[in-house]
Homo-oligomer: A and B are copies of this chain.
Amino acid sequence: MSYSSRLLEEAVEAFSRLPGIGKKSALRMAMYLIREDKSEMKTLFVEPVDQLISNIKFCEKCNNISDDDVCNICQDREHKAETICVVQSIRDVMAIEDTAQYKGIYHVLGGVISPLDGVTADDLNIDTLIERAQSDQVKEVILAISPTIEGETTIFYLSKKLKEAGVKITQLARGISFGGELEYADEMTLGRSLMTRTEYKLSEI
C-alpha cells in the first residue's frame, strides 16, 4: 500500500500487531484517529493504553491482573477465602465473575500442561497454589479448567498434588449446555451426561 506518510505507515504497522487486525482494519483505525480531535484522542485513546502497559500488575496472591499489589477480589474476599477457584487465565476469572455465582477467591495458573506446546508443570503457577491450599483457612479447591485433553491432564496432575494438602477437590459439572439441542451435542458430551445423569428435583425449578 502507498501511504505517502511515514507516520501513517508506522501507525498502521502498530495497529496490525494487534490480534485479529489486518492491514485494512489497521488503516481504518489510524484514519479514525487522524479525523478526530487531536487532544481528545490523546486523552481517550493513547493515555489509557499507555497507562495499562506501564502500570498493570499481577496480584501477588492469585496472579490475576491488578492495579495494586493485591487484586481487589483477594482484598475484598479475604474473609471468604475458604474456596479457591483454579482457572487457566485472567479471562476465565472475568467469565466466572460475570456469572455472579461464585463468591470465593481465585488462582490463575497461566495456562495448562501441554507437552506439545512445550508447557510443563514448572511453567505454571502450581507451587504457589499448593502453598495456598495448605493454609488452614482453605477448605475446597475448584478446578475450573477447560475439559480439553490438556485441561484434563492438568486437572489430573493438580488433583494428585492437592491431595496431600487435604482439601476437598471439585471440578465444574459436565453435561449438555443450557439451551443446547441434543442432536447437535457431541457423542462424548452426550454419552457422559447420560452416565452422570442427576435426579430430577421439582424444587430446583
Contact = CB atoms under 8 A, between A and B. Distances in A.
Given A18-B32, A45-B14, A97 B2 contact: yes
A33 B19 CA distance: 10
A42 interface: yes
A48 interface: yes
Given A66-B5, A67-B7, A17 B44 contact: yes
A48 B10 contact: yes
Given A4-B72, A49-B15, A97-B2, A38 B64 contact: no
Contact of A52 (B7, B17, B73, B94): B7
Main SS of the interface on chain A?
helix
A152 B111 CA distance: 57
A33 B52 contact: yes
Interface string A66-106: 11000111000000000000000011011001100000000
A64 B15 CA distance: 21
Contacts of A38: 53-54
Contacts of A50: 42, 46, 50
Interface stretch (A23-31, A138-146, A180-188): A23-31
Contacts of A5: 56, 65-67, 71-72
B71 A53 contact: no
A132 B89 CA distance: 59
Interface string A120-160: 00000000000000000000000000000000000000000
Contacts of A27: 91
A20 interface: yes
Given A50-B46, A51-B10, A94 B64 contact: no
In order of increasing CB-CB distance, the 6 nearest A-B pairs are: A2-B97, A11-B52, A10-B48, A14-B48, A18-B29, A14-B45
